[in-house]
Amino acid sequence: MKSNEPSNEERVWQVVALIPSGQVSTYGEIARMAGLERRARQVGGIMSRLPQGTSLPWHRVINASGRISLPVGSHGHTEQRRRLQEEGVVFINGCASLRRYRWHP
DNA sequence: CGAATGACTCCTT
DNA sequence: CAAGGAGCCATTC
């Protein structure tokens, strides 16, 4: 009988779900927390294929530069920024200015 | 099945 | 700070 091993996708979902409102994390950090160190790209791929209408706080995931990775002007970018601002995240010149979730300098 | 792709990141110049 | 390049690897062609 097979044990239900969580797929990478499921592990990433689980980690993203833990990001508190008003805070953000990065693809690389998500990868690390999901046991996928150095696979930030894979996390991005998983995010891009999230089911429509997901309850995951996908908008709290940004890149290591503190910017939204979706193309500027795209629907996704606009929505992500709107949701973050709604949670109190401040943007300065396209950069999210707020402490990261589990970010260590 | 090999090649291209991508919501990435780090290091060097 | 910007640009170039290497590393990474599941998914899609």
Q: Which pLDDT score is estimated for A105?
A: 47
pLDDT band at A97 (very low <50, low <70, confident <90, very high): confident
Q: Which pLDDT score is estimated for A6?
A: 84
Q: What is the mean pLDDT of residues A36-58?
A: 96
Residue A3 pLDDT more than 60? no
Q: What is the mean pLDDT of residues A3-24?
A: 91
Residue A102 pLDDT more than 80? no
Mean pLDDT of chain A: 91
Angle among Cα A75, A81, A87 to the nearest 5 degrees reads 135
| Chain A residues 46 to 65 with C-beta below 7 Å from nucleic strand B | 47-48, 50, 58-59, 61, 63-65
Q: Is any atom of strand B within 7 angstroms of residue A69's beta carbon?
A: yes
All structural domains of chain A, each given as residue ranges with its CATH number in brackets, are 8-97 (1.10.10.10)
A31-39: long-range contacts at Cβ-Cβ below 8 A with a sequence spacing of 24 or more? A33/A102, A34/A8, A35/A11, A36/A8, A36/A11, A36/A12, A39/A8
Residue A75 pLDDT more than 50? yes
Distance A34 CA to C4 C1' (A): 30
